[in-house]
Amino acid sequence: MFKNQPKGLYFLGLSNMGERFGYYTMLSILLLFLQAKFGFSTAISGQIYAIFMAVVYFLPIVGGWVADRWNFSKCVVAGIFIMFAGYLVMAIPTPVRADSSLWILFGALALIAIGTGLFKGNLQVIVGDLYNDPRYSSQRDAGFSIFYMAINIGSMFAPGTASAMCNFAFAHSDLKYVADLPAACNAYLDAAEKGSANLPEAASRVADLAAANGMDVDFSGLTAWCSDYLSTLTTGYNYGFGVACISLIISYAIYMFGKRYFGSSIPSKKKDEAGNNGSAPVLTPRQTRDRMVALLLVFAVVIFFWMVFNQSGAALTEFAKSCIGPECGGFTRIFFNVWALVAFCLAVYAIFGIFQSRTTSGKTTACILLVCMLSFIVYFYATTPNPLTNIQPQDYQQFNPFFVVALTPVSLALFGWLASKGKEPSAPRKIGYGMILAALAYGLMALSSIGISGTSGNVNPNWLISTYLILTFAELLLSPMGISFVSKVAPPKYKGAMMGAWFGATAIGNYLVMVPMLLWGKISLVAIWSILIGLCLISAIFIFSIMRKLENVTAEADAAENVLAEEAAAQKLASDVEA
């Protein structure tokens, strides 16, 4: 898995891991922050969340255009500094339910989106260009899987960090987190401001939730209590946004230190004014057109994948908040301890080390690591309360990155074995299979929602965890392979723009994330999940209908890489003979 990879990959992956850790710490609580601080409904907060996600993934198109004409590395560095400014603004507490706070938030989100546009796509172009070197060209797919795994290591720690920051804020008061209480407090404050006839009912709702969770409320000071509760909670979220600032400092340091290992691969106009850097192939106009068409067809499909996948911070988090209780029992409860997840991941890698290591010392080390990790898992199981309480909605978002990290070696081993048999599916075919699995994931959500009246229920957490598992299988088939497909097929002089266009397709999908949120409470949950299932299946049918065209372009790109590798080998042989 890690053999014959360029050193620059690891520094780029670690730099991206730091940035993604901060980003997903913020994103895991953004919807909840909007609802708590401003009292927004599910529909309004979902729209803001989706628009932000769309802009974040649209701006890499602009970032790619800028990098093609300026400098990829300078774009990456500028992006880090601009994102830092945005997170810093979000980390500063402001008054709850204030219009000024909302405009400050919008400004901060705009800075984060602009910075991400300069950073994200261009960093991945640099990763892709590492594999223009014939020594590494055959390892492109594995390299992007490693890069993608690094992203998810950072993402795995993000939701737990956000929860820890919230708990830290509450630790200095007599308050505690209750999923339904922010909405109840905002409903009471709305009723009090408007002099609504529902004020006594809203007050009783707050008092009942507080009493049920061991908090005392004085009705004479209920307005102040509600404001204090919302302020405490949102300050905890501010702390989470502050963590993102620290992660960006680390990300910048790693990038600058590692530049010596990947600097020569950074594309620039100085290397080739026509846009072909290094050993990139020269394409005919027909080849360029065919590749562009193939990429656009793939982009049309991934729009709907990202629409359903990125429900993790929207509809799936709303489901966790309103339809799953804050408790989990049985073996599953230890999965809410991020260090238990780390132990599981290391155990998986130890198992692969036992079978893949070629030396006795390597196998012995892997065996020792496996025993240690299994011991930790037993320890976590024995010491974790049963049931585990005070689970926050964002905690469920750690399962997707955990599954990515744990299953990446399984995925690579499976497809490596298929490749050795000459049966590995092409990247476009993997994307089609990913859409089918995404449909299956929401099939589980539909089953779990049968019998739920409205939007409140008491669903077993294992349903949602299993959904994340299947969505992860879909993601491993689609996302790293899709990025690799773009990097491989994109015409060299349009590589930055095409990588940006990949994120543009993601942006449209992210904008469509709001659809289930707009429908939340208006139609049944089963109907909402069924819509997502239908979109996934239609997308799968479409991509399989154009599979021949896509695979022809992929085969042509592979052949071009092989020719370049053979030419490089011949040149090296001639050089060795002359020497």
Domain boundaries, the chain: 7-258+298-337+384-545
- Contacts of 284-291 with CB under 8 Å at 24 or more apart are 287/491, 287/556, 288/491, 288/494, 290/552, 290/553, 290/556, 291/489, 291/490, 291/491, 291/553, 291/557
- Averaged pLDDT score across all residues of the chain: 87
Per-residue pLDDT at 496: 67
527's CB contacts (< 8 A; 6+ apart) are 519
The domain 7-258+298-337+384-545 having CATH identifier 1.10.240.10: the answer here is no
Residues 73/109, Cβ–Cβ less than 8 Å: no
Per-residue pLDDT at 270: 47
- Fill in the DSSP letter of residue 491: -
Mean pLDDT of 373-399: 94
- Across 93-107, 126-140, 563-577, the highest mean pLDDT is recorded for 93-107
Mean pLDDT of 302-323: 93
Per-residue pLDDT at 273: 46
Residue 338: pLDDT above 60? yes
Residue 73 DSSP SS3: helix
Residue 158: pLDDT above 60? yes
Per-residue pLDDT at 574: 61
- Fill in the DSSP letter of residue 524: -
- Fill in the DSSP letter of residue 523: B
Residues 110/83, Cβ–Cβ less than 8 Å: no
Amino acid (1-letter code) at residue 314: A
